[in-house]
């Protein structure tokens, strides 16, 4: 990972020029994200609360009149992928298997999704640079999609607002890349604002920017990237979605979002003969409630009070939704034992990153404790950095 400060639009424009022999028409940025609270609630029509990281994917782009799409990433130097917009076909990409045609499927999928929505997009030269760690649960895929869509939106005068960009990027990832993700990551990358967490209702994409400035309270939100990603994650994600749908059917609701927290006891009784579905449902219902409680705390200026809610969210992810892993559990345990106010896994789970809310004076102690715990367990050293609530997608040049 490059230092986010070192990376800039001038460099990305220069890299574009090196690859394509011409200057780009512009450079756009879209950030990675962490989710403060609200895990696996987005495909249950529930609430989530992401914030954008300072780490971004930059897209330098220029339109082409000949319908050709040329794609290059600084992360995959040397190879320019060339496609024709008119021939983009999600079925053909799906047949390629593996990660469905490789990294180029993400930006190509965005072009396809815009075209499939009836928008007049044409060819494009695109160069991408990113400081968002990939596969770390920090949404490098959404950053890549949203940066590409932001470029196309302006270069082709599509007039899309940030919510529409998020929806189309999710469609690209679902239908073209073949990843059944919810709407949170793309919305976070497209819509977050600096100094805020985004309180998002994933049912109708209503949103509110909630002021969140840990530094002003003498706090830090640390990201602990475990640098592991367990293979079982992909299949487990589909299973969790299926369990949630089964739970909603059993309870006679459209989505688990429609199960009121106040009815939890009767739900537990109703699902008693299906303990797995019961645990999945209980996670979603309590997690949606925890999002509301975190919002109440932040609205009241009680930032420290969110700590126990984060830790309770982790326990629910670990025990009821069963999407954690030993590395994430160790990160959370070591951080809280060393004095973090709260900690939890963030993102899809089975590896990736945890977050910890820590008093400034305890950052050193908590970081050292996490490093030592990982070393003692024989794990790879984790990567720690502060999450400053940052700006969503924007044009830089
Ligand atoms: P996450 O979104 O949590 O980082 P994903 O598996 O959803 O993890 O997305 C990671 C994939 O996105 C990578 O394997 C790669 O295909 C693609 N990707 C992300 N950023 C870049 C980039 N800058 N250049 C090329 N491909 C990228
Ligand atoms: Mg992703």
Residue spans of the domains in the chain: they are: 4-209+391-395
- The dihedral of CA 390, 146, 382, 200: what is its sign? positive
Catalogue the active-site residues.
185
- For the stretch 219-247, pLDDT in tens is 999 999 999 999 877 789 999 999 999 99
**E strand or H helix that includes residue 83:** strand 81-84
Query: If you take atom 7 of ligand 1, which residue's CA is the nearest one?
Result: 141
pLDDT at residue 342 tops 90? yes
- Return the pLDDT at 3: 57
The pLDDT of residue 98 is 39
* pLDDT on residue 94: 53
CA distance readout (Å), 72 to 17, 138, 223, 307: 12, 21, 29, 41
Give the mean pLDDT of the chain: 95
Mutate to test the pocket of ligand 1, among 144, 148, 179 (most ligand atoms within 8 A of CB): 144
Burial of 205 (0-12, 13-18, 19+ CB in 10 A): middle
For the ranges 231-235, 292-296, 307-311, 385-389, the lowest mean pLDDT is seen at 231-235
Residue 77 confidence (pLDDT): 86
Stretch 111-132: mean pLDDT? 98
Shortest-distance ligand to the CA of residue 169: 2
Is any ligand 1 atom within 6 A of the Cβ of residue 137? Answer: yes
Among 345, 357, 354, smallest CA distance to 319 is for: 345
Residue pLDDT, tens place only, 134-192: 999 999 999 999 999 999 999 999 999 999 999 999 999 999 999 999 999 999 999 99
Predicted confidence at residue 82, as pLDDT, reads 96
Q: pLDDT value at position 231?
A: 86
Closest ligand 1 atom to residue 179 Cα is: 7
Per-residue pLDDT tens digits for 2-39: 455 467 999 999 999 999 999 999 999 999 999 999 99
Q: Is 76 helix (H, G, I), strand (E, B) or coil?
A: coil
Rounded (10°) angle between helices 105-116 and 162-171: 110
Closest C-alpha to ligand 1, atom 16: 103
CA 335 to ligand 2 center in whole angstroms: 25
Q: Is 73 in the pocket of ligand 1 (CB under 6 A)?
A: yes
- Considering just the CA atoms, what is the radius of gyration of the chain in Å? 21
Mean per-residue pLDDT, 312-326: 98
Nearest residue to 55 via CA among 152, 135, 139 = 139
CA–chain centroid gap for 53, Å, is 10
Q: Supply the pLDDT for residue 7.
A: 78
Distance 144 CA to ligand 2 centre (A): 9
Expressed in angstroms and rounded, the spacing between residue 1 Cα and the centre of ligand 1 is: 13
Residue of minimum CA distance from atom 23 in ligand 1: 130
CB-ligand 1 contact for 1 (6 Å cutoff)? no
The dotted CATH code for 4-209+391-395 is: 3.30.230.10
pTM of the model: 0.96
Tokens of 248: 């909603």
In the reported structure, the alpha carbon of residue 145 is separated from the centroid of ligand 1 by a whole-number distance in angstroms of: 10
H or E segment and range at residue 154: helix 140-155
| 76 C-beta closer than 6 A to ligand 1 | yes
Going by alpha carbons, the residue nearest to atom 26 of ligand 1 is 103
* Ligand 1 geometric centre to CA of 131 (Å): 11
């Amino acid at each position: 990972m490059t230092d986010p400060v070192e990376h800039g639009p001038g460099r990305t424009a220069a890299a574009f020029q090196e690859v394509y022999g011409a200057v780009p028409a512009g450079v756009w940025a879209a950030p990675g994200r962490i989710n403060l609270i609200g895990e696996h609630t987005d495909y249950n029509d529930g609430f989530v609360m992401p914030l954008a990281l300072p780490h971004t994917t930059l897209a330098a782009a220029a339109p082409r009149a000949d319908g050709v799409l040329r794609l290059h990433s600084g992360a995959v130097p040397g190879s320019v992928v060339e496609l024709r917009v008119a021939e983009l076909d999600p079925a053909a990409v799906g047949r390629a298997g593996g990660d469905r045609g490789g990294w180029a499927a993400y930006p190509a999928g965005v072009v396809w999704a815009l075209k499939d929505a009836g928008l007049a997009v044409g060819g494009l030269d695109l160069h991408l640079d990113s400081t968002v760690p990939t596969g770390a649960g920090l949404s490098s895929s959404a950053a890549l999609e949203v940066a590409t869509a932001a470029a196309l939106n302006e270069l082709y005068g599509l007039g899309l607002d940030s919510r529409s960009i998020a929806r189309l990027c999710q469609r690209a990832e679902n239908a073209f890349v073949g990843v059944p993700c919810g709407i949170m990551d793309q919305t976070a990358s497209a819509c977050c604002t600096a100094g805020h967490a985004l309180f998002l209702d994933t049912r109708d994409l209503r949103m509110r920017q909630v002021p969140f400035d840990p530094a002003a309270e003498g706090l830090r939100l640390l990201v602990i990237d475990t640098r592991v990603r367990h293979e079982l994650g992909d299949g487990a994600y589909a299973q969790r979605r299926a369990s949630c749908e089964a739970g909603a059917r059993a309870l006679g609701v459209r989505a688990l979002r429609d199960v009121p927290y106040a009815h939890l006891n009767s739900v537990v009784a109703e699902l008693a003969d299906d303990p797995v579905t019961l645990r999945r449902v209980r996670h979603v219902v309590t997690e949606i409630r925890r999002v509301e409680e975190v919002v109440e705390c932040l609205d009241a200026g009680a930032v420290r009070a969110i700590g126990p809610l984060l830790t309770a969210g982790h326990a629910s992810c670990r025990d009821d939704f069963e999407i954690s892993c030993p590395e994430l559990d160790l990160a959370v345990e070591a951080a809280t034992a060393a004095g973090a106010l709260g900690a939890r896994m963030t993102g899809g789970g089975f590896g990736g990153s945890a977050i910890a809310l820590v008093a400034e004076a305890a950052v050193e102690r908590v970081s050292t404790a996490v490093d030592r715990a990982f070393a003692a367990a024989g794990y790879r050293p984790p990567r720690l950095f502060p999450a400053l609530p940052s700006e969503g997608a924007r044009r830089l040049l």
